[in-house]
């Protein structure tokens, strides 16, 4: 039995989905193998490039698409399960809502699907509208909402059932930097409230800022799962030395070293294994002025690109 | 049941805010009102003409609206992807289909009432009343509309609105012609008769809901003179409800297995 902190709230076990498209029933393997688990109270990022199978995986977890193979459990129950859905909030990718409804009407509808009593529904809807910053849009039909506003009402509807697990499909897509920050802050707030968040994205800086653990999917197959700190190698990839422009001269570069101009001066990139001390000593001897020395370790982007370019990736 | 009611109410609200439905209703009312003018062109048959044209208008537009809304009922949810937001909620898929259907039925009931009221006003303008036979005829047309809706929903569970509309309209036209098809079978050979009889048993008999002019119990029924009794109304309603339930269950079964890609 998992301890509460490590309790698994969602488990995908060998999920796969093959579609048969068109008259000739052409096989398209949207998801080949997705296995991962999401633990209580964490923010879990589901990363992958466009078309890698993120949305299809989430749809299988939400019971919108039936898996061809594998199984999934949400809150201890096999998907799809109505009792599990009661504790689940979901925001689909590029959400579309009933455009003729005003936000309070829409949230009221969602609340009634969760069997929330009318009075509580109204209170909760009012609080959520305030929470997502849509007070000014009360009474306005959703068709008049901007993309960012729709995303916000989408998050409000995902929270209407007071869920333990919140699943967001590409919640930052199409948002400006302020909108993205608001969503990031909201996810962190949900975590502080003790909720678990699973979200899919291909926007890596957001993942680095929010996620406890991630899973990376490429061409329908999950390549790595775990905490970011474990996935990113600690090894030094290179060292960047910035030298002031027109002061002294650059000492001889080691093999694989590169130089490029920057507004402040010259940026020298020393490959892994270079004797950096010796290079700096040589630079000082050549009367160069050293502005900065930056060791470069593997970033999430490096890992993402590395995994994407590995054999079998798209 | 509260979830079904929530979906039904939302479907009704959507219809109420749909301008196309108002346009269709407007044309239906126009046809019923035109009965007044057509009636005045006849000699001493004004009330009869108004009643016939009025019921024809209610029938025609009731069916058009039923097909128009019915074929779009599920398709629109898929096309606009609103279903992605609703189905992950604690709701069975059959509850969703039932809620949509009930909401539409409520919409059609309100429209039938509006058209009935307009017909009553037009009849009153000619000094006639919206009598019991007329009320029975409108009720039968409503049952017919309910059946057409169910068939449209059934087809829309697995095909495009165009095809669903085509099939639903086909069912309506053939369903209204069931007595003619049976009569044709009587004249045909035994093989063709068996096929036509089988088809007539499978296709909804929508002639039941427009019995004026038919011979029932060795007597010709007419909304103007001797119309059908309560037994007929009850059995026709039972038939319409039972047929609707069957096709609705089939629609639910299809919807239950669908992937929402």
**Which residues in chain B have their CB less than 8 angstroms from residue A94's CB?**
81
* pLDDT at res. A313: 47
Q: Do the Cβ atoms of A107 and A124 come closer than 8 Å?
A: yes
Q: How far is B80 from chain A (nearest CA, A)?
A: 6
pLDDT at residue A1 above 70? no
pLDDT confidence tier of residue A70, bands split at 50, 70 and 90? very high
Q: How far is A95 from chain B (nearest CA, A)?
A: 7
- Among A83, A85, A98, the residue with its CB nearest the CB of B10 is A98
* pLDDT at res. A9: 93
pLDDT digits over A12-54, tens only? Answer: 999 999 998 887 788 889 999 999 999 999 999 999 888 889 9
pLDDT digits over B171-189, tens only? Answer: 999 998 888 888 888 887 7
| Mean pLDDT, residues A118-124 taken together | 94
Q: How far is A160 from chain B (nearest CA, A)?
A: 10
Q: Do the Cβ atoms of A152 and A132 come closer than 8 Å?
A: yes
Cross-chain residue pair B14–A82, CB shorter than 8 Å: no
Cross-chain residue pair A113–B87, CB shorter than 8 Å: no
pLDDT confidence tier of residue A312, bands split at 50, 70 and 90? low
Contacts (Cβ under 8 Å, ≥6 apart) of A116 = A124, A160, A161
Integer Cα distance of B107 and B196 in angstroms: 35
pLDDT digits over B19-60, tens only? Answer: 777 877 888 788 888 877 887 777 777 888 888 888 888 899
Helical segments of chain B, H only? 2-16, 19-41, 46-79, 83-86, 93-125, 132-156, 161-176, 178-187, 190-202, 230-256
Any B CB within 8 A of A110 CB: yes
- Among B3, B87, B259, the residue with its CB nearest the CB of A112 is B3
Any B CB within 8 A of A86 CB: yes
pLDDT digits over A237-253, tens only? Answer: 889 999 887 777 788 88
Cross-chain residue pair A97–B82, CB shorter than 8 Å: yes
Cα of A70 vs its chain's centroid, Å: 23
* ipTM summary value: 0.81
**Which residues in chain A have their CB less than 8 angstroms from residue B259's CB?**
19, 64-66
| Mean pLDDT, residues B132-142 taken together | 91
Within the 190-229 window of chain A, which residues sit less than 8 Å (CB to CB) from chain B? none
Q: Please state, rounded to an integer, the average pLDDT across all residues of chain B.
A: 87
What are the distances in angstroms from CA A86 to CA A123, A164, B207, B222? Answer: 19, 9, 46, 55
Cross-chain residue pair A96–B14, CB shorter than 8 Å: no
Q: How far is A180 from chain B (nearest CA, A)?
A: 21
> Which candidate, B185, B243, B186, places its Cα nearest to that of B209?
B243
Of A296-300, B65-69, B155-159, the one with minimum mean pLDDT is A296-300
Q: What angle do CA A148, A157, A135 make, to 5 degrees?
A: 60
pLDDT at residue B242 above 60? yes
Integer Cα distance of A285 and A291 in angstroms: 15
Neighbours of B67 (CB within 10 A): 25
* pLDDT at res. B234: 94
pTM summary value: 0.84
Contacts (Cβ under 8 Å, ≥6 apart) of A160 = A89, A107, A110, A111, A114, A116, A124, A125, A128
* pLDDT at res. B89: 94
């Amino acid at each position: 039995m998992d301890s509460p902190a490590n309790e698994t709230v969602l488990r995908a076990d060998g999920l796969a989905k093959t579609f048969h498209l068109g008259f000739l029933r052409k096989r398209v393997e949207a998801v080949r193998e997705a296995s991962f688990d999401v633990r209580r109270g964490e923010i879990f990022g589901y990363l992958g490039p466009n078309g890698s199978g993120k949305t299809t995986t989430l749809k299988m977890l939400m019971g919108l698409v039936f898996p061809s193979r594998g199984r999934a459990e949400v809150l201890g129950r096999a998907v799809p399960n109505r009792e599990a859905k009661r504790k689940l909030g979901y925001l689909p990718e590029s959400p579309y809502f009933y455009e003729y409804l005003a936000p309070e009407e829409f949230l009221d509808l969602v609340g009634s699907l969760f069997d929330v009593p009318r009075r509580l529904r109204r209170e909760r809807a009012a609080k959520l509208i305030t929470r997502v910053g849509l007070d000014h849009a009360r009474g306005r039909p959703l068709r008049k909402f901007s993309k960012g506003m729709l995303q916000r009402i989408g998050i409000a509807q995902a929270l209407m059932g007071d869920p333990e697990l919140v699943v967001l499909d590409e919640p930052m897509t199409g948002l400006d930097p302020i909108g993205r920050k608001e969503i990031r802050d909201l996810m962190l707030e949900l975590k502080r409230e003790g909720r678990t968040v699973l979200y899919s994205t291909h926007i890596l800086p957001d993942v680095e800022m929010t996620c406890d653990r991630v899973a990376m999917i490429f061409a329908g197959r999950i390549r790595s799962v775990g905490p970011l700190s474990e996935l990113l190698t600690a090894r030094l990839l290179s060292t960047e030395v910035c030298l002031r422009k027109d002061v002294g001269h650059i000492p001889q570069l080691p093999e694989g070293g590169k130089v490029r101009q920057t507004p402040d001066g010259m940026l020298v990139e020393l490959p892994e294994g270079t004797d950096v001390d010796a290079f700096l000593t040589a630079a000082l001897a050549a009367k160069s002025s050293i502005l900065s020395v930056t060791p470069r370790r593997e970033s999430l982007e490096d890992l993402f690109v590395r995994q994407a370019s590995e054999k079998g990736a798209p | 049941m509260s979830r079904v009611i929530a979906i039904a109410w939302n479907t009704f609200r959507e219809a109420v805010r749909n301008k196309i439905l108002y346009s269709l209703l407007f044309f239906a009312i126009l046809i019923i009102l035109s009965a007044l003018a057509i009636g005045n062109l006849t000699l001493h048959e004004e009330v009869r003409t108004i009643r016939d044209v009025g019921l024809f208008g209610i029938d025609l537009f009731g069916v058009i609206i039923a097909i128009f809304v019915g074929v779009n009922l599920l398709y629109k949810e898929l096309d606009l992807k609103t279903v992605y937001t609703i189905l992950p909620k604690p709701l069975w898929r059959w509850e969703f289909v039932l809620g949509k259907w009930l909401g539409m039925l409520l919409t059609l009931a309100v429209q039938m009432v509006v058209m009935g009221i307009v017909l009553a006003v037009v009849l009153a303008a000619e000094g006639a009343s919206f009598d019991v036979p007329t009320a029975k005829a409108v009720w039968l047309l409503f049952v017919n509309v309910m059946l057409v809706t169910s068939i449209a929903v059934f087809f829309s569970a697995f095909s495009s609105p165009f095809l669903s509309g085509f099939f639903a309209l086909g069912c309506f036209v053939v369903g209204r012609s069931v007595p003619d098809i049976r009569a044709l079978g009587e004249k045909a050979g035994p093989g063709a008769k068996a096929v036509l009889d089988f088809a007539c048993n499978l296709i909804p008999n929508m002639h039941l809901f427009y019995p004026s002019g038919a011979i029932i119990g060795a007597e010709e029924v007419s909304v103007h003179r001797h119309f059908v009794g309560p037994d007929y109304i009850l059995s026709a309603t039972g038939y319409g409800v039972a047929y609707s339930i069957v096709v609705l269950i089939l629609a639910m079964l299809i919807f239950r297995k669908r992937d929402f890609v």
